[in-house]
Amino acid sequence: MNDQVTFVGNRLLWIDDQIQKFDPWVRRFSEQGIEVDVFPDPIEALSALQTTGYDAIFVDEIMPGERGSDFLGRLATSAPEAQLYVCSAYFYLDDVLEAYHRSNGELRLNVGRIDKTSLPLTDDISAIRRFLTEVFSDGPKPEAIAEEKAEKLAGAAMQPPIKWDDYSQLDVNGKLELHSRVLEWTQKAREKAFSEGKTYLVFCGNWDNPLVAKDDLSEFMKEEELLSLARSSGFAPFSFSAGGAVDDLSERCSQRTGMRGYPVLRISKGAIQEKVHLDTGNPLTLLSYEHYTANGWFETGMRFDTHFAGELVLLGRNIVTDGVVFTDSGEATLLGRLTAFAVLNWDKYRISASCGLDCRTPGMSSGSRCAFRTGLLGRSLGDDLGLEFQVNLVTGAVHMRHTS
């Protein structure tokens, strides 16, 4: 990429009701000379369009009081010259765009898509500049990465060894598919290592031998370490834990998913009660949230902040899960059932890791070690799945059974 490209004079409007999560990217974009205006309120954003012109608009497809496709139409009408991007981390994005095209097809066909989980890392200035060059380039962009380019990337990435440059540009569906293949390619090596007492493995470019093999899960590699490994080796790293173990993720991983902190799930059976953080996922390896969705455990579009079993309350919106109790921002209540998954051996692999800045644990601060980071729902569910908790959100009853 030409480092002489300048973004000075470009204006970006970013509309998201939880825009504060994206402050690091707003700062980086501003450092590159872009004037960035942020609005958590869609009506205020529409008002700003009456007096200010923008070169690009990022918009969350779900805004309080606004239907995604309808709001896109209003934006397209108010800013016909701006490059319009739907910025989302959810699988039903295609449905939103299809609805938009049905009602506004003649108005704007080149609505772009940006996956929140694939935003460039804020410490990688070259990646930030490549991203911005793509956003502010001329011409129609049905996606941030054109479909044919994405297919070409996926084809290259699916061939071992997996190059980091190819992997990092895959969308979440491509990452899911690739993770399944890596599970197959590493099966014999993982079985051998786990039978020898290893608990945590990292494969990077060689599927026959793990590059990292640890006896204790507490020695897992943090995201920054995995990124350093990926950049130095040129290959994508994939981490796995032994059956019954728990995987972990860093603060930055949670921030990059577009989720807020680590939701707490309180699970009780008789006199026994466990408090666990729901793993909101790590885009570097595999998004648990998307893995749940892909396997039908959560329906697409599920968005939540906090969970409590027994007296269970879900705070969020657009939960489309069959039988879930949920109160959205409009006070509408739905009834249903949630199934959560956790590890088999709570005691052996109990860990407590640092939480993110927005951890909702009372009295916790950034850098503190949260007691609720125990029995974390693991990322590598193919390995970690051991217990199934079924929470009846109507009665509060909790049922637990072994799945292996």
CA distances in angstroms from 95 to 9, 64, 68, listed in the order given: 34, 18, 10
Q: Check pLDDT > 80 for residue 109.
A: no
178 φ, ψ (degrees, to nearest 5):
-65, -40
Tell me the pLDDT tens digit for each residue of 389-404: 444 433 434 444 444 4
Q: Check pLDDT > 50 for residue 114.
A: yes
Structure tokens at 367: 């850098």
For the chain, give the longest Cα–Cα distance.
67
Nearest residue to 202 (alpha-carbon basis) of 172, 176, 222, 178 = 222
More confident residue, 157 or 214: 214
354 φ, ψ (degrees, to nearest 5):
-65, 140
Which domains does the chain carry? 11-144 (3.40.50.2300), 155-241 (no CATH), 251-402 (no CATH)
Hey, how many other C-beta atoms are within 10 angstroms of the C-beta on 169? 17
Tell me the pLDDT tens digit for each residue of 262-287: 444 444 434 444 454 444 333 322 23
Q: What is the overall mean pLDDT for the chain?
A: 59
